[in-house]
Every structure is written in C-alpha cells, then in structure tokens.
Amino acid sequence: MLRHKGKVIVWRDLVVGLLFSLQAERRSVRTIGYYKDLLHPLLDYASDKGWPDDVRSLDSHRVREFLSWVGSRACEYGVGNGNKRVRKAKPSTAWPYYRALRRLFNWAVEEGYLESSPLATIHFKPPPAPPVEGYTVDELRRLLAVCDLDIKTGARFTGIRNKAMLLLFVDSGLRRAEMVNLRLSDLDNRRSGFYGDRGGSFGGGKKQRRY
C-alpha cells in the first residue's frame, strides 16, 4: 500500500496505485496497458540512474532528463532469423510519455501523495499531426486488381470481401474502427446504404451516419 504523511512513497507503488485507480474507474484493458507501457520505462530509468526511491525527491530537472532520454534513445528489436533492427526515437516520441506522467502526478496530487506536480513548470507542446497521404488512383487500381486475382484463382471469398472493404473505404471515408464494428444489421437495403448510431457501431454520440 502507498504510504504518505512523512513516510516514503516508492516509485513502483505510485505507478501501481494509478493503475489500480484506472481499473477501479472501469477503464479498458487497453487504456490501462497504455499507461503501464509508458510509465514502466520511468521506473527502469530511475533505477538505472540511482534516483532516490521516494518520489517526493523528484524535481522538474529529472523529469526533463527522462523526457529528453525517451525522445532521443534508440531501440533495438528482433526482425526474425536472428536479425535485429534499430529504430531511433523522434522528438515527438516524448509526447505520450509526458501525458502519462501528467496523469500520474496529477493523480498523486489529488490523492495527497504529492504536494505539487513536478510537471507544473514544464510546458510541453504537442507535436503537429503527421500528414496523412491518401492512395493514388493507380495504387487503388492495383489493390483492386489483387482482389480480382484472388477471386479468379480460388480465393473467391477473400477477394470479394477485401474488394467490398476497399470500395466501402473509398466511397464512404469510413474509419478503420467503424469498419471493424460494422454489422449486417447496419445495412438498410431500402435506403441503399449502411446506417448506424455513432454511439453504436459508428463511434461516439447519437448522430446517425449513412455510408
């Protein structure tokens, strides 16, 4: 259990406390895993650097040091056959870590484990959204040609399914998550389209969309 009021508050206990709090709030497994993956590198970094166990010793200088590290480190991972590949971090890589730390320290302040957040004096601007390049007409034709080839060479179901998905994406601008949640009950043959509440198969809110 976490201890405060003059007693040591250990790093790992603070992170575990936040994760339990998220679980109690009935956050999704994916959300809890997201914060776990972003906060555990902080625990490893603090241990490697010999930071004091008491989180109240943390200051903005050390937070900046950690964010600088995650924004510049290189990660090595296996790609099969014993080969490895190195991926260098981008400056924007630090942004999700900053958000996770903000959530952690704000929660710690609310619970009375910290008097103030070490991030209070750190102003971190969110990175600009990366440009999304759409497929060219020629690329779409080649994708559809692969579907047609599947239909003609024994993979009829796969080819028809993939072609229908591609055409629906192109024609409707459907989001990936919306495509995954699409159900036959959303199909309305009388109105020649897919209909769904954005609070159901089609995302958040109650506005109905047609595809």
Residue-averaged pLDDT of the chain: 81
Residue 53 has pLDDT above 80, yes or no: yes
Give pLDDT, residue 130: 74
The percentage of residues in the chain with a pLDDT greater than 90, rounded to a whole number, is 39
Distances (CA, A) of 154 to 144, 160, 163: 16, 11, 15
The torsion of the CA quartet 174, 32, 43, 107, rounded to 10 degrees, works out to: 110
Average pLDDT over residues 52-67: 88
Give pLDDT, residue 206: 46
Which range has the worst mean pLDDT, 32-46, 96-110, 128-142? 128-142
Main-chain phi, psi angles of 82, to 5 degrees: 75, 0
Residue 138 has pLDDT above 90, yes or no: yes
